[in-house]
Amino acid sequence: MQEQAEIANTLFERERFDEAFEEYRKMAETGSIEAQLRVAWMYQVGCGVKVNLTDARRWYLMAAESNSPEAQFYLGRLYRQEKKHQEAMNCFRKSAAQDYMPSIYQLGVMYEFSEGVGQDREEAYKYYEQAAKMGHLRAQRDMGLMMLKGHRGVKKIPQGILTLVGMFYEAIRLALKDPDSDRLLW
C-alpha cells in the first residue's frame, strides 16, 4: 500500500490528477482513510474528476466511520458548504471531542455567525480561545478581532491588537515553513 500511495502522490504532484484519482480510489476501496479523504476532496473540488458532492459525501462518510477527527472535520465542511448546518455542527463536535483544533475553530465560527445554532459570541470566543491555545492561527485572528471590536470589554482592545500582530507574524512564518499545517486550516 505504501508503494501505491507514493505513486498516487507523485502523480498528484505532477498534476496528473485523473491518474492520481484512480490510484487513490483503488486504495480508498481497500480501506485507506487517507485515500478516502483524498478521493472525497477530489470529488468535492473537481480535481481529476467532475465535481460530485454526493460521491464526496459518500467517501467522507466512509472515512468518518473510522472515527477519524480529520474525516469528521472535512465531512463537516462539506455539510457547511451545502448549508446543512446541523449536520456540520454534529461532525465538528465529534471531531472537536478528539481535540482536532480546526473543528474546535469551526464551532466558534458557527456560534459567531449563527449557523445551526443561535448567535452566541461568548461561546464563539470560548471555542476560538481553546483552538488558539492549541496554536490555531485563524482562531487567534478571530479572537483578536473580537477583542479589538470591544466584545470582551474596552480593556481588552490593546490585547486584541497584540494578538493580531503576533498572529500575523506567526502566520507568515508558518506559511513559508509548512503551508499545509493544521494550524492554518479553517
36-46, pLDDT tens digit by residue? Answer: 999 999 999 99
Average pLDDT for residues 127-151, to the nearest whole number? Answer: 94
Task: Please say if the pLDDT value at position 1 is more than 90.
Answer: no
By mean pLDDT, which of 92-96, 102-106, 149-153, 182-186 is the weakest? 182-186
Does the global pTM surpass 0.75?
Answer: yes
- d(CA 58, CA 54) in angstroms, rounded, equals 6
Q: What is the pLDDT of residue 152?
A: 83
Average pLDDT for residues 94-107, to the nearest whole number? Answer: 97
Average pLDDT for residues 129-157, to the nearest whole number? Answer: 92
At residue 186 the predicted structure's pLDDT band, cuts being 50, 70 and 90, is: confident
Average pLDDT for residues 106-114, to the nearest whole number? Answer: 97
Domain boundaries, the chain: 99-186
- d(CA 61, CA 79) in angstroms, rounded, equals 11
* Cβ-based burial of 50 (10 A; exposed 0-12, middle 13-18, buried ≥19): exposed
By mean pLDDT, which of 17-26, 80-89, 105-114, 165-174 is the weakest? 165-174
CA distances (Å), origin 158, targets 46, 74, 178: 44, 35, 29
Task: Please say if the pLDDT value at position 185 is more than 80.
Answer: no
Amino acid symbol at 33: I
Task: Please say if the pLDDT value at position 151 is more than 90.
Answer: no
Average pLDDT for residues 11-39, to the nearest whole number? Answer: 96
- d(CA 143, CA 72) in angstroms, rounded, equals 24
Q: Which residue has the cell 448567535?
A: 119
Query: What mean pLDDT, rounded, does the chain reach?
Result: 94
Average pLDDT for residues 73-86, to the nearest whole number? Answer: 96
